[in-house]
Amino acid sequence: MEKKLWGGRFSEGTDAFVEEFTESISFDKELALYDIKGSIAHARMLGKQGIIPQEDAEKIIEGLEEIKKEIEEGRFQWKKELEDVHMNIEKALIEKIGNAGGKLHTGRSRNDQVITAFRLYLKEETNNIIQLLKELKKTLLKKAKETIDIVMPAYTHLQRAQPIRLAHYFLAYLEMYNRDEERFSDTLKRIDQMPLGSGALAGVDFPIDRKMTAKELGFSQIMRNSLDATASRDAIIEFLSDAAICMSNLSRQSEDLIIWNSTEFSFVELPDKLTTGSSIMPQKKNPDVLELIRGKTGRVYGDLIALLTVVKGLPMAYNRDLQEDKEPVFDTVRTLKGSIIGMTKIIEGLKPRKDIMEAAAGGFALATDLANYLVNKGLPFRQAHHVVGQIVGYLTQQNRGLESITLDELKKFSPLFEEDALNILNPHYVADARKSYGGTAKERILEQIKYWEEKLIL
């Protein structure tokens, strides 16, 4: 059995159950390269400050570089009895370079070591997610430019509401994903803070240079309070919250496209390479990527709730419960990155069915605009709403659409209707009539596109 690096106080070996129950190496080895990065910076600082001999610092750095190479090449042997990634690497270092390896842990604790590695990991992955969101935004902008001349019905309560340009829809999600990116960028400020040097909870009794270490590791800030540095996980929770919101946006768009891809709607066609078939029904073309984004959203919600639950009752400062912070984050990072990539590919490859969309944009979807016509003629909106409601009821009883009504019929409901009222029965005309802020007129869509072209530097 491996001798524990912390085992001096104990008179008997650890029970096999405890070793199995408390190990984290099965998942936290994902932090290995970040742990080594933190240890190299720490060793370099210890040597510069004269806390350990310079030659020992150089041996430590050389040994860690060798271990890093072994890990990258898949040759490193992980041992569960050594509990976690940090102890595995430290024990391997001591075996490789001798007593000098035992000096690496001078001036730090596993408490500040683990959260330093975790923050380095999360800082990198947050930047990766931000870049993926940028690519998704560019894809949405490109699709908006391609679809600016397609008119479709927008929906409230999943019922046809008013005609809009399809580009307006894609630009709406661009705005939503942009806010997601802004949230991650803002959270990055709170992730990008170095806890190393806080020790177990009360700082360390050596003349360490935290500014040097922070610069080596690329942290823009240093955490001021050692209790806070080792015990807090709110920046991690904030990241999970950002991810949950982003997944909700991805899930909503997935639901839209799943519905639009159905035979009942047939608004879009998804590329064959991004769909799957049925084992029994030859005609099926299933939107599995979108369905899995929708389904995996629940996992990310669960990850957020899991960590909130872990920290809600913890006394200050570090508690072993915080070992449970990593798996939810690893899961969320993998799930979110995959979902963003999947949505980007779907948007890039989907083909709108213009004829079907535009046919659906007519009919009763134009009712609000007909009411607005009467308002512009001087009728109070509530009366105009009532008049058009009567028209809809009249046509519904005859199983007719709004586009079938004649001017003579319109005049039976209000003498304010004139020849130009028939323009309202053209969804393209109606979409272009909305020239106000946020409207669907082509010129307004082009304004949005120009704004995003400048922002995204296309």
Catalytic residues: 157, 278
- For the chain, count helices (H), then strands (E): 18, 6
Percent composition of the chain: helix, strand, coil (DSSP 3-state, to 5): 70, 5, 25
Helix (H, G, I), strand (E, B) or coil at 385: helix
182: its two tokens: 């802004």
Beta carbons of 230 and 195 less than 8 angstroms apart:
yes
Beta carbons of 89 and 32 less than 8 angstroms apart:
yes
**Burial of residue 291 (number of CB atoms within 10 Å: 0-12, 13-18, 19+):** middle
Rounded to a whole number of angstroms, the distance between the first and last alpha carbons of the chain is: 60
Alpha helices in 220-287, H assignment, sequence order: 226-231, 234-261
Beta carbons of 158 and 165 less than 8 angstroms apart:
no
Beta carbons of 296 and 339 less than 8 angstroms apart:
yes
Residue 293: CA atoms inside 13 Å, Cβ hemisphere, count? 29
From residue 234, alpha-carbon distances to 68, 194, 238, 241 in Å are 30, 14, 6, 10
Question: In degrees to the nearest 10, what's the CA dihedral of 145, 147, 152, 155?
Answer: -50
Distance separating alpha carbons of residues 224 and 244, to the nearest angstrom: 29
| Element at 127 (helix H, strand E) | helix 110-146
135-146 CB burial, b ≥16 within 10 A, e <16: ebbbbbbbbbbe
Beta carbons of 72 and 29 less than 8 angstroms apart:
no
64: its two tokens: 């860690």
Length of the chain in residues, anyone? 458
111: its two tokens: 């408490």
From residue 197, alpha-carbon distances to 39, 47, 85, 111, 151 in Å are 12, 15, 19, 10, 60
Beta carbons of 297 and 331 less than 8 angstroms apart:
no
Contacts of 413 (CB under 8 A, 6+ apart): 387, 390, 391, 394
